[in-house]
Structure formats: structure tokens, C-alpha cells
Amino acid sequence: MATIEKRDIESLLQHEGWPAISIYMPVSRIGDQQDPLRYKKIITEVTNRLINEGMRAPEARSLLEPEFALMSDADYWKHLGADGLAVFLAGQAVWRYPLPHSFAELVMVGRRLHIRPLLPLLTGGPYLVLALSRKKMQLFRGDRYQLEEIALPEGTPKSMDDALQYDDPQRHLQFHTKTGTSRGQRDAMFHGHGMGFDDQNEDLVRYLQAIDRVLFPRLEEEKMPIILAGTEELHAGYRNITKSRTVLSRGIAGNVGELSPETLHRKAWAIALDYFTEEERQAVGTYQDNLGGDRVVDELQSVMTAAFDGRVDHLFVAENAQIWGRFDPDKRQVSVQKPDEYDGALVDLLDEAVYWTLQKKGTVFIKTRDAMPVDRVVCALLRY
């Protein structure tokens, strides 16, 4: 199954000129027979739009010939294995993205490809889940869509018994010493986390230290956020001794073995998403802190001008919102027109704001209407 990355968006943004065709539709992961029928309806709609906007019927049919052929490819639809399909056509170029995300059905024909529904899928990234247990150590790699167990690096103890099987009993006599870490000197024993000074807890500390000795180089190399899973005692213990700076403060409490794979992924992604959206929360906070000042704008004319001039640092756009009209970059002038006046020359002005913001290296956040920094469908935090 395909995924969307920033470089894909950048590539799609390079194509300009009518007709740029964008198609989004939900599909069935199990290969529902309704999927090719729905696609046929969509391609028929695209054909009619092209003809209505001036393209000759044979030319339109030729342009869309691969898409008509795709309708009859039963094997393609049967093995799509996706929740949503995004298709883009520009000139002779075609991009098809079967994605693990269900899109609302949408067809856009204009001068540029409509990439806005893809932008929320860029939020996030890979992360690791380190499941700590006295009986079984596990390491998982996850993203927005899945969580899968991966092999532990060679030499990682798989359990406390594994870690301590060759341990020298005499080390118990020397255990109450200071151990250094990259964060400075720390007590080898735990204090204030419900752990005492008996042999069992000393063994647990050595077990966690043995884990970190092997895992730390791997975790640092991956440069991913790390989510701990296990009892609160193990969370506190591992955070106290690890040299890793990417272990998140929130973790998954409980026995991982008692959680279904779906539940573990859901819990992990909720924590990871909170981490990955920190920049967005800070941007919203900065916007609201600057209300009434020169760094924030929420009028479409001002937003468009700032985006075209490269002054937009963060653009906020309400999902599914559309404002049709024209933008004259030479005059920096916006004119809004009703959708029923659509003549092929109109553009979605919100898409234009997104396009120019991304082209000038700004950041775009797609938000629900009630989560916008202000009660507008578009607003921007300016660089200056």
C-alpha cells in the first residue's frame, strides 16, 4: 500500500496547467464490487467536465483511456487493499495512491492538482514502542496506520532471567554506588518510585541497565520518539537509567500481553500524535498570542497577498472549505465568485493560499472548523 510523503506533495505541486484532475474516493479494503462502479461514475463526470470546459470529446476520451481501462481490471480492485484512493492526472502523467485512509468522494478539475486532503496525512512519523516486562522484552515500530513487532538488537536481554543468568552475586555488595550518564551523576538505586533496596529491586535495575546498554545505540541511531509500555514501576525505572533523550514522558500503563494489537496501536498512536502535533499547538498558541497585532491576518485578501509574497509562516485552513474566485498575482487582487459561475478559469482560493504557502516554504495546517485559531476558514501567522 502506498503512503504519502512530503516529497510526493512537492512533486504534485510542480504540475500546473489545465486540465489538472484530482480524484478522491473511498474504497473497500476487501475489494467491494461497488468500487469500480463508483470509479466509472467519477470518470464519466470528469469526461463531461472536460467537454463542458472546451475539450473535444475524442480528446477527453483519449486522455482518460487508462482510467476507463482500469474500471475493467477486476484484479486491481480486488487487491487494492486500501481504505481510500487518490488519483491525479496532469498531461500524460498519472499518480495513483491507494491509502489506508478513507476519503470523502471528491472530483476537482483545474489548473493545479488538489492536494489539500493529503496534507493531514503528513502529520506524524515513525515511532518505537518499548514494552518492558520482567518476563518478556518486546520492541515495536509504528506509524499512523500500523504497529509491528521488530527483532531486538543482538545481545538485548529478552527477560530478567536472561539478563541475570550470568550475573555475579558479589555485585550485590557493590551495587549502592553512583553511576554516570550523559545527564550527569545519578543514584544507581531508584528513589521515590515505590522501589526498595532489596535484592529483587537491585536485580530489576541491573536488568534495565542491561537493556539500555544494548538498546541505547540503536534508539539514538533511529532518532524516533520512544513510547514505554509496561507497569509504572518499570516506566520510572527505565527513565531513571536510560541515556536516551527521545523517551516520551507519557507511556502505556499495563501489561502489553493483555492488550490486543489494535488496542496497543491505538494507545501508542494517540501518544505519538500528541508528540508530533506539538509544533501545531505552539503555532496556534503563537497566533492567538498575537491577536490584534501585525503578525496575524484572517482576511482572504491579506492571506493571499502574504502567501504569494512569501510572508506566511503558518497557514491554517478549515478542512473541506472552498472559496471560488480568481487571484491576480500581478495586482495582488482577489475576487470571489459563486461556484455556479464556474467557467474553468475560477480556482479554489483556499487551494491557492495553500499552494503559495508551500511554494514559499511555509507550513500548512488543515483543521476542523471548530479547531481553527479564530472563527474563519483561513488565517495565517506571518513571518514579518
Cβ proximity of 129 and 252 under 8 Å? yes
Topology of the domain comprising 6-122: 3.30.960
For residue 344, pLDDT over 50 is answered with yes
320 phi/psi in degrees, rounded to 5: 70, -5
The domain spans of the chain are 6-122, 127-276, 278-382
DSSP SS3 for 304: helix
pLDDT-derived band at 190 (thresholds 50, 70, 90) equals very low
User: Mean pLDDT, the chain, as a whole number?
Assistant: 89
- Answer yes or no: is pLDDT of 139 > 60: yes
Q: Give pTM, 2 decimals.
A: 0.83
pLDDT band for position 189 (50/70/90)?
very low
For the ranges 127-131, 335-339, 366-370, which has the lowest average pLDDT? Answer: 335-339
Asked if the domains at 127-276 and 278-382 fall in one CATH topology, the answer is no
Other CB atoms within 10 A of residue 226 CB:
20
Determine the average pLDDT of the residues in 167-190. Answer: 45
Task: Let me know: does 242 contact 212? Beta carbons within 8 Å.
Answer: yes
CATH number for the domain formed by residue range(s) 127-276: 3.30.420
Round to whole Å and give the CA distance between 125 and 121. Answer: 10
**Phi, psi torsion values for 276, nearest 5 degrees:** -70, -20
For 109-138, the pLDDT digits (tens) are 999 999 999 999 999 999 999 999 999 999
- Give the CA radius of gyration of the chain: 27
**Beta carbons within 8 Å of 144's beta carbon, 6+ residues apart:** 100, 121, 123, 124, 269, 273
Sign (positive or negative) of CA dihedral 362, 363, 366, 370: negative
Beta-carbon count within 10 A of 150 CB? 12
Assess if CATH 3.30.1330.30 describes domain 278-382.
yes
Q: Retrieve residue 83's grid coordinates.
A: 481504505
| Bridging pattern class, strands 333-336 and 324-328 | antiparallel
Write the pLDDT tens digit of every residue in 247-289: 999 999 998 889 999 999 999 999 999 999 999 999 999 999 9
Residues facing 347 on adjacent strands: 325
Residues 52 and 45: beta-carbon distance below 8 Å: no
Residue type for position 115: I
Q: Which residues are within 8 A (CB) of 29 and not within 5 positions of it... i.e. 6 or more apart?
A: 80, 81, 82, 83
- Cα–Cα distance measured from residue 178 to residue 187, given in angstroms and rounded to the nearest whole number: 5
